[in-house]
């Protein structure tokens, strides 16, 4: 019933609109007032329809532009993410290249020793690399007591070796003791590890004779009398050297040449001090 009523209403409106259109099309003078009245009725409706149509068109157009802008924004965001990732990768490669260049220069400085490069793969908990593990071992010719260098100087000594790894104890560790000497004078000293002191970036120098010529700024290197460390490897620089209260010895501090907070690559000297002593003994014979 409702369907039929709606159909009749629609037909009636259609006929009414057709009648109005017909009236506005007739040119006879007597219909002018009626045509004018119909115009007054139709023009507002037509204007409203035009405004509504224009608004709907603009909304559709704006929605399309919004969708397009959102799509472009998403593409730009993805491009920015890719550029950031690429920039991060390039920076990482640049830093690695710089570290490898420094290792190469260090390798050239100690050409008298055979060496192999290795990466640090693990370390003990704490801020410093006092004990750490590298990715090379006995298969690569590394043995216990092999000296390890990086960052311009001595880092430590190998204490344990597996087939494909090795453990290194650095000179900043509390139990580390390195026999050193002032490079310019040859006067001996002991460089002692001290993790508490190293928070200030320094190690301790002890056992300098009262008349020993060790002064601030001197290069301290491994000494010839060391039992495990090869001679002539830079350890660091002397500072704040003073005479002890006993007046029999001097002591002070050392600023290490290597950095012990960010080790990533090192050089391991495959020759041992024992090998060097054996070669010297053979030559003497």
Give residue-wise pLDDT tens across range 55-91.
Answer: 666 666 676 777 777 777 777 777 777 766 666 665 6
Structure tokens at 209: 């004779």
Structure tokens at 232: 């002539």
Tally of CB atoms within 10 A around 190: 15
Residue 17 has pLDDT above 80, yes or no: no
pLDDT at 279: 75
Helices (H) and strands (E) in the chain, counts: 3, 12
Instruction: Yes or no: say if 212 and 250 are a contact pair by the CB < 8 Å rule.
Output: yes
pLDDT tens, position by position, 81-104: 776 666 666 565 555 656 667 777
Backbone angles phi, psi at 192, to 5 degrees: -110, 135
> Rounded to whole angstroms, what are the CA distances from 268 to 27, 62, 168, 218?
109, 67, 10, 25
Q: How far is CA 112 from the centre of its chain?
A: 34
Structure tokens at 39: 């115009």
pTM over 0.75: no
pLDDT tens, position by position, 96-135: 656 667 777 888 889 999 999 999 999 887 778 899 999 9
pLDDT tens, position by position, 163-177: 999 999 999 999 999
Structure tokens at 219: 């290069």
Nearest alpha-carbon partner for 38 in 25, 11, 20, 51: 20
d(CA 235, CA 37): 108
d(CA 64, CA 106): 63
pLDDT at 55: 64
Structure tokens at 270: 């495959």
Nearest alpha-carbon partner for 275 in 147, 94, 138: 147
pLDDT at 180: 96
Average pLDDT over residues 160-164: 96
Tally of CB atoms within 10 A around 191: 27
Report the SS3 class of residue 255.
strand
Burial of 34 (0-12, 13-18, 19+ CB in 10 A): middle
């Amino acid at each position: 019933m409702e369907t039929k009523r709606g159909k009749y209403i629609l037909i009636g409106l259609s006929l009414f609109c057709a009648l109005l259109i017909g009236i506005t099309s007739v040119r006879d003078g007597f219909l002018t007032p009626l045509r004018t009245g119909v115009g007054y009725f139709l023009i507002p409706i037509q204007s409203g329809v035009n405004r509504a149509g224009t608004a709907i068109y603009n909304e559709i157009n704006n929605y399309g532009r919004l969708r397009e802008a959102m799509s472009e924004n998403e593409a730009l965001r993805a491009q920015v993410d890719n550029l950031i990732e690429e920039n991060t990768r390039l920076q990482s490669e640049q830093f690695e290249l710089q570290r490898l260049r420094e290792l190469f220069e260090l390798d050239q400085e100690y050409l008298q020793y055979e060496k192999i490069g290795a990466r640090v793969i693990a370390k003990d908990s704490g801020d410093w690399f006092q004990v750490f593990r590298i990715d090379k071992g006995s298969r690569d010719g590394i043995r216990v007591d092999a000296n390890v260098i990086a960052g311009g100087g001595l880092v430590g000594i190998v204490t344990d070796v597996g087939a494909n790894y090795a453990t290194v104890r650095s000179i900043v560790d509390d139990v580390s003791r390195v026999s050193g000497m002032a490079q310019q004078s040859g006067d001996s000293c002991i460089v002692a590890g001290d993790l508490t002191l190293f928070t200030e970036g320094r190690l301790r120098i002890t056992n300098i004779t009262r008349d020993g010529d060790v002064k601030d700024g001197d290069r301290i290197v491994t000494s010839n009398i060391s039992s495990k460390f090869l001679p002539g490897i830079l350890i660091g620089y002397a500072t704040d050297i003073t005479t002890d209260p006993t007046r029999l010895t001097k002591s002070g501090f050392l600023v290490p040449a290597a950095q012990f907070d960010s080790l990533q690559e090192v050089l391991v000297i495959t020759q041992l001090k024992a090998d060097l002593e054996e070669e010297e003994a053979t030559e003497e014979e």
